[in-house]
Amino acid sequence: MNKNSVKYLLLSLPLIVLLIFDIIMLGLVATAEEPPKYSTGGVVMLDPNATDERPSEDPDASPGVTVAGFSALTIPPDHITIPIDLYNPIENNGLYYLTFEFRLPDDSEQGYEVLFKTGHVAPGKHIYQVDLARGLPAGEYTAQMLIQPYRMSDLTPTNNVSAVVRLTVK
């Protein structure tokens, strides 16, 4: 090796060491664990992925139906007209009418007796009283509320909602 070669080697040695150091550091950064985006330790950090925006929906997909219901109802014995609040939420505006059917199980061929059924209820509207098919004697009953949505565009029924209701007559 001549004198000039040694001189170039000594001058380039710091650059070679710096290059090796950079390669090692890049490798460490690439394999380091990503810090958590949110924490549960003491301070509430909101998830940055939460948004008010809804993803665009398939225009051919049927939008969901909003239903307001209840799990218990108390009525007076032997009364035909009873107070009740049946409601089609305003969120269904332009989409769905709802009908409400109240059933009691029995031994008939269909397995239930319809105590009342409403007509179509528009979004944002309430029914505050209904007429039963018959008055009921005092007691506890397990009834079924069937809520049937109908598309406003063509009045075709969609999937219904069926809920068990504890009916107290006293």
Report CA 26 to chain centroid distance, whole Å: 45
Residue 71: predicted pLDDT: 84
Residue 19's φ and ψ, nearest 5 degrees, are -65, -45
- In the CATH hierarchy, which fold is given to the domain comprising 72-169? Immunoglobulin-like (2.60.40)
Pick the more confident residue, 27 or 36. Answer: 27
Query: How large is the average pLDDT for residues 133-148?
Result: 95
Q: Is the pTM of this model over 0.75?
A: no
Pick the more confident residue, 35 or 80. Answer: 80
Task: Tell me the pLDDT tens digit for each residue of 119-131.
Answer: 999 999 999 999 9
Report domain extents, the chain: 72-169
Tokens coding 153 = 């565009």
Q: Does pLDDT of 25 surpass 60?
A: no
Query: How large is the average pLDDT for residues 22-31?
Result: 56
DSSP string, 84-128: EEEE--GGGTTTEEEEEEEEEE-SSSSSEEEEEE---B-TT-EEE
Residue with tokens 């003491």: 42
Dist. CA 121–CA 119, nearest whole Å:
6
Question: What is the share, in percent, of the chain residues with pLDDT greater than 70?
Answer: 59
Q: Does pLDDT of 7 surpass 50?
A: yes
Tokens coding 137 = 């004697």
Q: Does pLDDT of 160 surpass 60?
A: yes
Q: Does pLDDT of 147 surpass 80?
A: yes
